[in-house]
Amino acid sequence: MLKIEHLFFSFGGRNILDDISLNYGAGLVHGLIGSNGSGKTTLLKNICRIYNPAAGSIELSGLDCQTLDRRRLSSLVSLVPQNPKVSFPITVYELVKMGRYPHLKRFQALSDYDLMVVEAALRATNTESLRDRSVTELSGGEAQLVLIARALATEARLILLDEPTASLDVGNSLAIMELLLELKKQGKTILVSVHDLNQARRFCDTITILKDGKVYYFGPAAKALSKASLEDVFRVTFASAGEALEFDSLMVE
């Protein structure tokens, strides 16, 4: 589904992504973890071409993401950014409708089908009741759900999410992760940067661990979160603490 080969990205003379090669299967939830500055956000932005790599290739279902028309790429992959902030007064409904723009020609109006897709996206994210609210009035959890709705409205095969549960309470955080499982059931492929290691273990099929811009681990979630790897990647000490955490009962000291 998503194939990344020998990807490099530099900024300010520093390699942010250093020879990244990954192959993500379709219809799965793929977790992306690592310490701050490890390259998670940069990788997501390279995939959707917000950033352009210095070298390497990114293919989506055999299509070269670097040469695709930008509208075509936007209809295939959609990014939900971290800590979304929309400063202009637009309603939730209008924002979600923007997800259909990659499918439209210039000045083309939305069709009945487009509007049907928008309604389906609102239902899937349980944001129908917010449709007439200004996005500037939304809570953090509501804003994340609305941006996921906009991503769904694109009908993209691949949805990228950059720490969608950061700064959210437990209820909103779990609701978003459970929504990702529902999207998986609908055939979507999810690549999500996750800061909560319990969520990564519980909700993700695979986990990629980045360390200093390199792939430290890629494989099944169940094998990713060992005590040794966590201490190495996050540079902290973990100790056994009863049943405090789900993954091997590890707690940060």
Q: Share the mean pLDDT of the chain.
A: 90
Report pLDDT for 252: 37
Report pLDDT for 12: 86
Q: Above 60 in pLDDT, residue 105?
A: yes
Return the closest-CA partner of residue 30 out of 154, 149, 214, 158. Answer: 158
Q: Above 60 in pLDDT, residue 250?
A: no
Q: Which residues contact 35 (CB under 8 A, 6 or more apart)?
A: 211, 233, 234, 235
Q: Are 252 and 70 in contact (CB under 8 A)?
A: no
HEC states along 209-232? Answer: EEECCEEEEEEEHHHCCCHHHHHH
* Region of poorest pLDDT, from 52-61, 78-87, 192-201: 78-87
Once rounded to an integer, what is the mean pLDDT over residues 181-201?
A: 94
> What three-state secondary structure class fits 159?
strand
Residue 227: pLDDT band (50, 70, 90) is confident
Report pLDDT for 239: 63
Q: Above 90 in pLDDT, residue 243?
A: no
Q: Above 70 in pLDDT, residue 232?
A: yes
Q: Which residues contact 62 (CB under 8 A, 6 or more apart)?
A: none
CATH number of the domain enclosing 218: 3.40.50.300
Structural domain for 149, as ranges:
2-252
Q: How many domains does the chain have?
A: 1
pLDDT digits (tens, 9 = 90+) for 123-174: 999 999 999 999 999 988 899 999 999 999 999 999 999 999 887 888 888 9
Q: Which residues contact 18 (CB under 8 A, 6 or more apart)?
A: 8, 212, 213, 214
Q: Above 50 in pLDDT, residue 70?
A: yes
Once rounded to an integer, what is the mean pLDDT over residues 90-118?
A: 94
The Cα 159–Cα 153 span in angstroms is 11
Residue 211: pLDDT band (50, 70, 90) is very high
Report pLDDT for 57: 97
Residue 229: pLDDT band (50, 70, 90) is confident
Report pLDDT for 247: 46
Once rounded to an integer, what is the mean pLDDT over residues 88-102?
A: 93
pTM for this entry: 0.90
Q: Above 60 in pLDDT, residue 251?
A: no
